[in-house]
Every structure is written in structure tokens, then in C-alpha cells.
Amino acid sequence: MKSLNILIVEGNIREDSEFFIKAAGASAADNLKNLILKLEPSTNTNIINPGHDDETADALNNMDKYNGIVFTGGAMRINDMTDVIKKHIKFASDCFEYKNKILAICWGLQVCSTAAGGKVNPGKNGAHIGIASDVIINNKGMSHFIYKDKKNIFTSPAFNFDEVSELPKNAILLSSDKVNNVMGIKFKAGNSEIIGLQYHPDYEYFQMLKLIAGRKERLFKNKNFSSENDYQNHISYIESENELLNFNDRTCEVRNWLNYLKN
């Protein structure tokens, strides 16, 4: 087939994007774009921000040209329900009216789940601070293309304080861990197929470490760490996992999704 055309939906407002660029080297959308181009160099990408009405209107008017849509991660929290967050949810809902194949990562999963009738709340068992350990793919997940060539139990970059607490109608759970029951799901909404991941195949651990460092004061204020020793032990753990992670293992889901778009 011809080169893929992918719409990338930025998950951050400008201020948060500036933090991501400073800490992780790229905005959430550009970071995802860079990964897609490593995996499929001929891909055409277009980045929009749902907070900008002109960009969403243009994307919806040209929706038939895209082979797939990616909703990226971001720093907002659904239950704050600001006007900007409402625009993110509305755009996802509008996308569902078209025959789209959607990959929704972290914040993107929470936005798409909410738009499809699910619920998002603060994680009952805590947060993923830079890493998700021992994510278990269930039987449904093992038979789904998104986890082709993925280890049945894996550890991944992740950063989230909230979780999908109630699945959208007819959603199928694909993976879980001890922090969030919903780590991977698939569901249909309107005319669209959505695959959601509550972790980051698009980020590396060194980026997560920089994001953690930039949020250190807030993490202590929110009591995500009980002491400096607790914090340093967590940093050391992520550094040790960084030695074990390779590109193909980390990015497996994005590669599988792009291959799916080509079929």
C-alpha cells in the first residue's frame, strides 16, 4: 500500500508541552511521531491539539485521509474536567463517528474511554511513577495482534496517577498489573476500533527519569514517596530496568498497530 497517513493528537496544553520538551526532549506528540518514523520512515504524520478548534475542525473535515489516529499521553487529569479537557473528550467522540483505527496511550486511553462511556478516577492502588512492573497479558490479550511477539509478563515505561475505573461498554481487558487493572483494552465506539494502553511504549526510561526529576517536589507533596531514600531506591530500580530494555521489546505494540494499519 501507499505510505501510511497518521493523525497524532497531542495530549498536553502548551505549558505542559513546554515541560515535556525541557525534560524529555520532545512534546508528547513529537515523541510519538519520532517513534513512528523510526518504525515506518515513509509515514506521513499530522499533529493537532484538541484545544485548538480550527485544528480539530480541519482534522474532522479530512478524516477519510487517515489510516489511523494516535491519542498521546499527557499531564491533565480527567476529573478536573476543564474546558480544554472537555474539548479533548469531544474530539474523541467526534472521531468515533468515522471508521477509524485508534491507538490511545495513557491520557489518550482515559480520554477515549470517557468519550465512550467509561469512567476514570484516581488509581486505587497508587500510581505508576516512570515504570509499570510485571504487566500481565491475559488470555484475550495473548490472542490479540497488539501483543504479537510481546512477553506475557513485561515491564514498561509508564506515568499515570489515574486509571480507567469502569470500562466502556463491551470493552475487552487485555492486560493488567498490580497498580492498574486496566493496562490494555480494546473496544469499539461508534464506527471506530480503539486499542488503549495505560503505559508508554513510546517513551524511554531516561525520559521518564527526567520527568520524575522535574516533578520531584510535587511527587513528595502528593506523598508518592515517603522519604528521600524511598525516592532514590525507586530511581535506582528504574535505572536497573533500563539496562534490560531494548527497542524492539519496548515498542512492540506501536509496531504491531502500524502493521495492522497496512493490512
Go through the domains of the chain in sequence order and give each one's CATH number: 5-262 (3.40.50.880)
Q: What is the mean pLDDT of residues 172-177?
A: 98
What pLDDT, on the 0 to 100 scale, is given for residue 263? 83
* Residue 86 predicted with pLDDT over 80: yes
What percent of the chain has pLDDT above 90?
98
CA distance 21 to 226: 28
| Stretch (H or E) spanning 165 | strand 162-166
> In this predicted model, what pLDDT tens digit does every residue of 33-79 receive, in sequence order?
999 999 999 999 999 999 999 999 999 999 999 999 999 999 999 99
CA distance 74 to 17: 8
* Residue 200 predicted with pLDDT over 90: yes
CA distance 180 to 198: 8
What pLDDT, on the 0 to 100 scale, is given for residue 2? 82
Contact 228, 41 (CB under 8 A): no
CA distance 252 to 172: 20
Residue 2 carries which DSSP code? P
Q: What is the mean pLDDT of residues 18-43?
A: 96
| Grid cell locating 69 | 489516529
Q: Phi-psi region for residue 177, left (φ > 0), alpha (ψ -120 to 50) or beta?
A: beta
What percent of the chain has pLDDT above 70?
100
What pLDDT, on the 0 to 100 scale, is given for residue 1? 58
Residue 155 carries which DSSP code? E
Contact 46, 7 (CB under 8 A): yes
End-to-end CA distance of the chain: 8
> In this predicted model, what pLDDT tens digit does every residue of 115-144 receive, in sequence order?
999 999 999 999 999 999 999 999 999 999
* Residue 155 predicted with pLDDT over 80: yes
| Stretch (H or E) spanning 107 | helix 107-115
Q: Phi-psi region for residue 9, left (φ > 0), alpha (ψ -120 to 50) or beta?
A: beta
Would you call 74 exposed, middle or buried from its count of C-beta atoms within 10 A (0-12, 13-18, 19+)?
A: buried
Q: Phi-psi region for residue 81, left (φ > 0), alpha (ψ -120 to 50) or beta?
A: left
